Structure 1
Amino acid sequence: MDTISKTASTSNNSSTNQSNGQTWDTEAYAINGRFVATLASDVVALLAAQAGEHILDLGCGDGALTKQLAATGAILTGVDNSPTMLAAARQRNLHVEQHNATALPYHQQFDAVFSNAALHWITGVSGHNSVLAGVHRSLRPGGRFVAEMGGHGNIAAIRTALQATLAPFHIDAEATSASFFPSSALYRRLLETTGFTVQSIELIPRPTPLPTGMEAWLNTFRNGVLNHLSAVDRASALANTIALLEPVLRDADGNWTADYVRLRFHATK
């Protein structure tokens, strides 16, 4: 989703550890963030779920992608830390549990762990060390961890515009959002230090159309930052951020594109 937030982005994926103040409105996410699950076909193909496998979907959000994986015949367990997202996932008749991604309770229960657009909501190297240790512990010997998350350079223009716009309000947008967008070299080290063997890992630029526009994206995926402002200041900050971004992310026909960069990897225990 972009979204284990501080738990992740609903859909897949939503939240997993709520320290940054980001919250998830299932209705808004369904309208403004459904592309997160829709654009996950490549990482789903990399997972190659098989009937009968036990798979953990880490940061399952509202379960849109979890439902797709379950259609393969695999046995899915979804995990998220957002009660509202989990309620939406249960409406899809999915088996989901509420856990913080940094404190997974499983021990050699899964053939694979999958995550889409959720891990970047976990703050810092120490947080990711905890997540990876839990994932490694959750997998059976030979199990695989297949995931996609925001990578180095992700939404760079958007982050820069927010930083500039919010500075007069004495808000450090980067520190407040607490997102983690690592390079492939860094994340390879974290995986290998945990005991994983990395089969593949790469950064993938993926300009992403925003059908509902930039303001809707900001209100959905950066509310943890914007909620620090009064209603009047928030409206002003949104207008100023959008004005900064228009020359680079809005085309002549008025269509918005976010400057996404994804980190995709496949690692085995």
Structure 2
Amino acid sequence: MSETKWDPVKYNQVADFVAKLGEPLLNLLAPKLSDSILDVGCGDGSLTEKIKPLCQHVLGIDASAEMVLAAKAKGLNALVKDANDLDFNEQFDGVFSNAALHWMTTPKAVISGIYRSLKPQGRFVAEFGGFGNAGKIVDALTTCLEREGILYQNPWYFPTAEAYSDLLVKQGFELEYIDLFDRFTPLPEHLSEWLEAFGQAFFTNVDAKHKKHIIDEITNLLKPDLLVNGQWHVDYVRLRVKAFKPQRR
């Protein structure tokens, strides 16, 4: 997982839409009152909080201690845990994840851990960045950094539906649904704030003054495509999936 540092308050200022746009996933998860649910990459618990009254037990996990503290402040059961190294064994009826799996760059390990975590007939429901996600932003970022001769780390994993389906099936999942779709999303603040929050890994080798210069250059490049009627947007592409762990034979 990337070394991105999360500030829960700033995150909600820049990206409060993330949890709101993830709410339809709850219908796909369809929690039952008898269920035990694991929320992978729960963040500050905004969606975990909505799952809680719908099931018997929900546990949120996140690699960010700051986000887990924010989730606990909402009265949620949450742990600091890396999803690349899950150690649960058939404890959950459902595993849920919204806007998190694209930060986890060892997908085989994550999928394996999710599979082990599920009871037989348990379901895995997720949405995250898919192939082409924020493509114009990524292109502008890499173009500007490479032009300046700056080494950078791309922290994201954006698979095609075919590639992710293949990983799930090879792990043993039965795939019910997978969809890759565009979501051109308005931002509540300037694109520079989004870049500061989500693009940290790209700027590890850049000092603050130079970073501001590069971000200004990036936003100028992106104005024709992403600034619409005075409001910045992100060219999101999302991958939504539902799969089941089969019953033992």
Letter in 2 for 1:75: H
In structure 1, the partner of 2:143 is 164
CA contact (8 A) 1:23 1:224 kept: no
Structure number with greater Rg is 2
Equivalent of 2:26 in 20, 23, 44: 44
2:230 alignment partner AA: G
Equivalences for 1:92-241 in 2 at 5 Å? 92-123=74-105, 127-173=106-152, 176-241=153-218
Q: Secondary structure at the match of 2:121?
A: strand
Shift of 1:116: 0.4
The answer on whether the counterparts of 1:21 and 1:225 sit within 8 Å (CA) in structure 2 is no
* Cα shift at 1:106: 0.4
Q: 2:223: which partner in 1?
A: 246
Deviations 1:134-165 (A, max 9, x none): 11111000000000010011000000000111
1: CA distance between counterparts of 2:54 and 2:118?
A: 20
In 1, Cα distance between equivalents of 2:150 and 2:160? 26
Off by >4 Å, runs of 4+ in structure 1: none
Percent of counterpart pairs with the same letter?
Answer: 39
Q: Which amino acid aligns with 1:159?
A: V
Say whether 1:266 aligns with 2:242. yes
Matched residue type, 1:141: P
SS in structure 2 of the partner of residue 202 of structure 1: strand
Deviation at residue 172 of structure 1 after TM alignment: 4.8
Query: With structure 2 as the length reference, what TM-score do the two structures score?
Result: 0.95
Displacement after TM superposition at 1:49 (Å): 1.3
Alignment deviations for residues 76-100 of structure 1 (CA, whole Å, 9 cap, x no partner)? 0001111011011110010011211
Q: What is the distance in 1 between the residues matched to 2:159 and 2:103?
A: 12
For 1:261 and 1:103, locate their aligned partners in 2 and report how far apart those are by CA, in whole Å.
Answer: 27
Structure 2 gaps, min length 5:
none
Q: CA RMSD in A?
A: 1.1
CA contact (8 A) 2:15 2:188 kept: no
Residue 34 (structure 1) shift? 1.2
Q: Using the TM superposition, give the Cα deviation of residue 102 of structure 1 relative to its aligned residue in structure 2, in angstroms.
A: 1.1
Count of aligned pairs: 245
Alpha-carbon distance, 1:64 to partner: 0.8
Instruction: Supply the distance in 1 between the matched residues of 2:199 and 2:34 (Cα, whole angstroms).
Output: 38
Distance 1:23 1:232 in 2: 20
- Change beyond 3 A, Cα 1:143–1:166: same
Give 1:226 shift: 2.2
Is the Cα contact below 8 Å between 2:155 and 2:201 reproduced in 1? no
3-state secondary structure, aligned to 2:54: coil
Distance 1:74 1:67 in 2: 13
SS at 2:131 equivalent:
coil
Conserved? CA contact 1:155–1:259, under 8 Å:
yes
Determine the C-alpha separation between the residues in 2 that align with 1:144 and 1:151: 20
